[in-house]
Structure 1
């Protein structure tokens, strides 16, 4: 008996060692890609500090331009992930990154509202399919007992990107007049082109499946494949149309819509919110990083808790509720200090919700159903990235303050928390 237990423990240790090797190969590139992706989506908020004046954008036209990326992203999300399923995740993710890097850099040359709209629309087309594509890639490489931590590390890219983006963007804005370009133009060029480099590295260093991984030994490949094939799923959905019609998929899309609308509304408008308090561009970059520092720490701690308890849906509801409470605090207390406390609490909830959320769909989605279902969830959910900035811009222009917009975002987060209860009931009935 003791001998059997020892063998079992040795096998578990060996499996953990192999998946650590997989994680160190996959996660650094995926995190770097997502960090650059998020910076390229939201750096327009820092560019706006000078760009809006230079090319004649009002608060409303800026909000439309900032948000239109998410409209095109959503429109092309499902087709992009079907192509990923056909051509392979490695090639398609690399294609996405290379094209979005080129379009992001080209945004430096917008001259007015319409060219701004056009480049932001094309950026959404180029990037469509990236996040669900990575989720699909993770399903092929990590069983559930490792996937939550892997997804949380990946989703930590959002607060990490914002932590880096503030100081970096404010520093780049100081590069004024070099080669005849304004600082905001250098911002798009310097923060856009690294995506092309990461795309080429993905082609070189990653594999679509464990069976194709030449960087694993035969024994290591067998361990990974067995662990993934042994994973049980709750009423698995394999087919595309079945996945799109599954009520669990529809509810998950609604949940993501709620916390995404809050995430991008805060992320894109935070520099302008801070500017309304009279801070310099340099100070804005440093102060904007603080809420995301707390978000990074919270994401890791909360994902560890979820791995220990396994209560993903309950923790998702709690995270969305915490996000709503934080936004309400920032509405009630309008001073810079207390407003930052509220936004920090909000981002703790929102960023933690991201990591927890994406560990739920693979419990029942597989194959083409996973490729299409994950893309559908993300496409509907990511519409929040369109409505968030636009709603904030409209309410700011209508009321003259940011409080109404932040209050509306809190309402959407509470809606997400309520939808998690409906998801819990649906999962029990299947």
Structure 2
């Protein structure tokens, strides 16, 4: 065999070995980080949206109207959005391990303290404080994961993290119904037990993350030198769109603003349904426990749909087309939910809407990191999330106001369809400024 043939054989063998090493290294990272981060996000959404179940008792106990409840449910996102970018800048400075842990511990304590609210004013103040405490968690994790996984993994990794959103509702529905049954135990109302029991795990997870995470592959003592090498090489060698690496440039980039509008639209729709779903179901004269179990069904379908759709989007590489399709499915679902008087078909429509919204969320967050890096990624992702997450305020508030004005939830759901239609259009326009394979 010639020297050239020997060299080619050696290179081929090295490539095969590196490929196997890369798969093993990423598998190790996934199993160490993703379960605990996903569990943290499950409790993030439980502690953010359990207000919908608490309202079944709390609104009566502390005297809240539909408009006051909608305002208070949404005001969390004013605090959240106001501190989102500063939180991610501090994460970039102090490191993801320390800052993400701090976020979990502080919001867990404040979630427990929600059990102390006694009227509209204290309700508003505690919801605002909870939003400040949570600020930066999701964009911080999204930025953190982009430092560990290249583009070909990112939508799937984010989908497994973001599946926490529908899973939190699969768990939160039955759990919320059961916790409300503790009403009167040890002198506390059921809604107070709900806040306390669902807040404590966030504190515990925050303490665990201090030991479990490493800011960068280079800092991970639990990886071998070769595993660190292949992970760093994979991330640094990925093909990117026209890259922005300065925060000021990121905030003036048309792609960032278009992504922001897309995200705002489907966030309004997501929270508009999620916060009010228990009370929408209550109109069917169901018990609190029945509402808990029935409300879990749409989110179970959304959990499965998110994972399958994100995997398909990764394999096809056509993230933007899949994003726009998800948003359009949500529009169709909302319209179906209000176009029929049959409970089963309305529930099917809401299920389709939630599959579309959750699928869009997973695919969406793999797009900004294709053209944002470094401090621009930390700040740009936080900026998109900040503006987009105001949908968590507008969605519940709009539905509550329209419910008080019209006496039904139909106008609110139609408004949610309108916001998703805007997301669909801007997702299609993104294709003009971002390369989609």
Tell me whether the two structures share a fold, i.e. TM-score over 0.5: yes
Q: Is the 8 A contact 2:160 2:307 kept in 1?
A: yes
Counterpart in the other structure of 1:297: 304
Alignment of 1:396-407 (within 5 A): 396-407=403-414
Q: 2 CA distance for matches of 1:164 and 1:251?
A: 33
Instruction: Select between 14-23 and 43-52 the one with higher mean Cα deviation.
Output: 14-23
Aligned residue number for residue 70 of structure 2:
63
Q: Tell me what 1:15 maps to.
A: 22
Question: Pick from 198, 208, 228: which aligns with 2:215?
Answer: 208
Q: Does 1:330 align with 2:337?
A: yes
Q: 2:35, 2:43 → 1: CA distance? A: 12
CA offsets 1:97-117 (integer angstroms, 9 cap, x no match): 110001111000100000000
1:169 paired residue among 176, 193, 205: 176
Deviation at residue 421 of structure 1 after TM alignment: 1.9
SS in 2 for 1:286: helix
Equivalent position of 1:367 in the other structure: 374
Whole-angstrom distance in 2 between the partners of 1:4 and 1:404 = 64
Aligned length in residues: 429
SS in 2 for 1:426: coil
1:103 to 94, 106, 110: 110
Pairwise CA RMSD: 1.2
3-state SS of the aligned residue for 2:118? coil
Q: Could you tell me how far apart the structure 2 residues matched to 1:397 and 1:334 are? A: 20
Report SS of the residue matched to 2:181: coil
TM-score (norm 1): 0.98
> In terms of mean alpha carbon deviation, does 262-271 or 10-19 score higher?
10-19
- Give 1:6 deviation, angstroms: 4.9
Residue in 2 that maps onto 1:196? 203
Once the two structures are superposed, residues 365-406 of structure 1 have per-residue CA deviations (whole angstroms, 9 ceiling, x without a partner) of 111100100000000000101000000000000000000000
The equivalent residue for 1:46 is 53
1:138 alignment counterpart: 145
Does residue 239 in structure 1 map to residue 246 in structure 2? yes
- Quote how far apart the aligned CAs of 1:78 are: 0.5
Report the 3-state secondary structure (helix = DSSP H, G, I; strand = E; otherwise coil) of the residue aligned with 1:141. coil
1:177 Cα deviation (Å)?
1.4
Per-residue deviation, residues 60-109 of structure 1 (Å, max 9, x unmatched): 00000000001111111111111111111111111111100011110001
Match runs of 1:369-388 below 5 Å: 369-388=376-395
Return the offset for 1:4. 4.8
Q: Structure 2 residue aligned with 1:149, among 130, 152, 156?
A: 156
Q: Distance in 1 between matches of 2:214 and 2:158?
A: 18
Partner-residue secondary structure (3-state), 2:356:
helix
Q: Which has the larger radius of gyration?
A: 2
State the alpha-carbon separation in 1 of the partners of residues 188 and 237 from structure 2. 56
For residues 25 and 341 of structure 2, the distance between their equivalents in structure 1, rounded to whole angstroms, comes to 50
In the TM superposition, structure 1's runs of 4+ consecutive aligned residues that sit over 6 Å from their partners are none
What is residue 126 of structure 1 aligned with on the other side? 133
Report the Cα offset of residue 9 of structure 1: 3.2
Q: CA deviation at 1:225?
A: 1.1
Whole-Å separation in 2 of the counterparts to 1:204 and 1:9: 33
Distance 1:68 1:353 in 2: 24
Aligned with 1:365: secondary structure?
Answer: coil
CA contact (8 A) 2:21 2:227 kept: no
- CA offsets 1:310-358 (integer angstroms, 9 cap, x no match): 0000000000000111011001113221111001111110110010000
Match of 2:43 in 1: 36
SS in 2 for 1:216: coil
> 1:193 is paired with a residue of what secondary structure?
helix
Unaligned runs of 5+ in 2: 1-7
Q: CA deviation at 1:8?
A: 2.7
**In structure 2, C-alpha distance between the alignment counterparts of 1:421 and 1:322, rounded to whole Å:** 14
**1:424 Cα deviation (Å)?**
1.2
1:3 deviates by 6.4
Aligned to 1:277: 284
The residue that corresponds to 2:122 in the other structure is 115
Question: Which residue of structure 1 lines up, in the alignment, with residue 418 of structure 2?
Answer: 411
Unaligned residue ranges in structure 1 (runs of 5+): none
Report how far residue 2 of structure 1 moved.
Answer: 6.6
Could you tell me how far 1:7 is from its partner in structure 2?
4.1
Say yes or no: does 1:182 pair with 2:189. yes
